[in-house]
């Protein structure tokens, strides 16, 4: 008789990956570019979406899946007021999104009316990194008051990102944040990572980010794979 | 034949609770008051421990278990330089501490030489809430740049706390943080929660926190249960 080993975690990740592949196909078929937006709580995910939607209104049609661990839907409402097609996803306490949640949510979205979809993950610098959603790109937001040591402490999030936003640069005079030390930590994990230092509050540095988002939305999704 | 339902998650939490009870007994037997310190990444857990250790040096003996998802031990080194007995716990990617990790770590600490032990949890506003460690008290740190909506979005962390620190009040002139809105959110979850608004950077508000920590360290641990 052979002892059977049950690999719950690995099986869950394998099942998740299969659904992520289906999500990608659904997004591609509708011509939607999807961005998985990850960060600590309060780093500025919603603020960045809100500013991006408002600035690119009339130019590209933006959708937003806003996730929270609670029924509080104020972030989705903010994005909607700015002009996005927004939906709130309550994970009821769960610490990250998975592909199944995204499958169920995109089924409720008018994908044909969306060029670019922001998937705002749960505010968490650990768990979201392990779960593919089927999005085309992962963008990580750091923020200056969090401190310059985060790449060293949460390496998996930094190594898996396709682009990095450094938000709240307007606070640099008031916080301890050594940009060189931070960048060295990032470079060691993810060489040449595309980086956007900016402030959602003051608007400084937003132009480059907006140009890149508009560029992404105009691409054929096949090019992004 | 009866179908057997396997409750992996619940069993894990039950097993964890048993070890937490053993941890509490070990701490009580050594006369150590233990505080589970939780927060978002970068809210100021290490800064608060560092300031507390430096200010109370010669008055109470402070220990620190510093956890991170990576081998980066700089936070433990900071606390040690300030005068704490500090040890680094690498969770190798795991998103929260559990009672087993604490059992293995306190076995390496000179508990008889410690009056108060800070257990610095992983920077995470979701997962740590579910896992008892055997500590006597849970302290949550919020920080003003994270925004005033966190109690509404991460209710479980706020409802389970025994005390709340609002750090980085020196940044209030430069960030959007409505203290009344924040407090209403906290009150709805945890009425009368003991709260310490302060700044680890400027030192404002630290006195009340230090008085409370010194008071805790002087208590018989039995009183705290």
pLDDT score of B1:
45
Q: Report d(CA B149, CA B152) in Å as an integer.
A: 6
DSSP B3: P
Q: For residue B210, is it within any domain?
A: yes
Pick from A165-169, A220-224, B6-10 the range whose average pLDDT is largest.
A165-169
Residues of chain A found within 8 Å of residue B148, distances taken between Cβ atoms: none
Q: Enumerate the residues of chain B whose CB falls inside 8 A of the CB of residue A154.
A: 41, 69-70, 123
Q: What is the mean pLDDT of residues B202-224?
A: 87
- The closest of A128, A153, A139 to A209, measured between CA atoms, is A139
Strands (E), chain A: 33-39, 62-68, 85-90, 116-120, 137-143, 163-167, 194-197
Percent of chain A with pLDDT over 90: 88
> What pLDDT is attached to residue B150?
97
Instruction: For tokens 């709805």, name the residue.
Output: B188
A154 in any annotated domain: yes
Task: Say if CB B43 and CB B123 are below 8 A apart.
Answer: yes
When CB atoms are compared, the residue of A94, A127, A146 closest to B42 is: A146
Residues 10-39 of A with CB under 8 A from B: none
Whether residue A2 lies inside any domain: the answer is no
| Shortest CA distance from A70: residue in chain B | B153
* CA–CA separation, A206 and A213 (whole Å): 11
Residue B155 lies in a domain: yes
For range B135-158, the mean pLDDT: 97
Number of separate domains in chain A:
1
| Domain boundaries, position A118 | 8-224
% of chain B beyond a pLDDT of 90: 89
The radius of gyration computed from the CA coordinates of chain B, to the nearest angstrom, equals 18
Does residue B147 sit within a domain? yes
Q: What is the pLDDT of residue B220?
A: 63
Taking residues B55-82, what's their average pLDDT?
A: 94
What ipTM was reported for this prediction? 0.90
The bridge status of strand A116-120 relative to strand B194-197 is: unpaired
For residue B31, pLDDT beyond 60: yes
Domain for residue A118, yes or no? yes
**CATH number, domain with residue B47:** 3.40.50.300
**Which residues in chain A are contacts of B95 at CB distance < 8 A?**
95, 124, 126-127
Interface size between A and B, measured as CB pairs under 8 A: 108
Residue B2, domain member (yes or no): no
| A146/chain B closest Cα distance in angstroms | 4
Task: Please list, in sequence order, all residues whose beta carbon lies within 8 angstroms of the beta carbon of residue B169, skipping any fewer than 6 positions away.
Answer: B144, B197, B198, B199, B204, B205
In a domain, B76, yes or no: yes
> What percent of chain A lies above the pLDDT cut of 70?
93
- Residue A70 buriedness (CB in 10 A; 0-12 / 13-18 / 19+): middle
Give which of B96, B98, B118 is closest to B109, Cα–Cα: B118
């Amino acid at each position: 008789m052979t002892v059977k080993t049950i690999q719950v975690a690995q099986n869950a990740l394998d099942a998740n990956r299969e659904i992520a592949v289906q999500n990608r196909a659904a997004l591609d078929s509708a011509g939607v570019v999807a961005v998985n937006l990850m960060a600590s709580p309060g780093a500025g995910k919603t603020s960045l979406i809100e500013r991006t939607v408002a600035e690119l209104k009339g130019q590209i049609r933006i959708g937003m899946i806003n996730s929270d661990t609670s029924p509080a839907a104020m972030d989705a409402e903010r994005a909607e007021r700015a002009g996005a097609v927004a939906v709130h996803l309550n994970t009821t306490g769960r610490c990250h999104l998975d592909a199944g949640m995204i499958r169920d949510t995109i089924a409720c979205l008018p994908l044909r009316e969306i060029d670019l979809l922001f998937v705002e993950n749960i505010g968490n610098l650990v768990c979201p990194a392990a779960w593919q959603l089927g999005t085309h790109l992962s963008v990580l937001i750091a923020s200056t008051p969090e401190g310059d040591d985060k790449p060293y402490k949460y390496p998996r999030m930094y190594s898996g990102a396709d682009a990095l936003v450094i938000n709240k640069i307007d606070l640099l005079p008031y916080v301890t944040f050594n940009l060189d030390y931070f960048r060295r930590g990032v470079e060691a994990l993810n060489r040449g990572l595309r980086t956007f230092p900016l402030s959602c509050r003051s608007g400084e540095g937003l132009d480059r980010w907006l140009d890149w988002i508009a560029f992404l939305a105009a691409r054929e999704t096949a090019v992004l794979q």
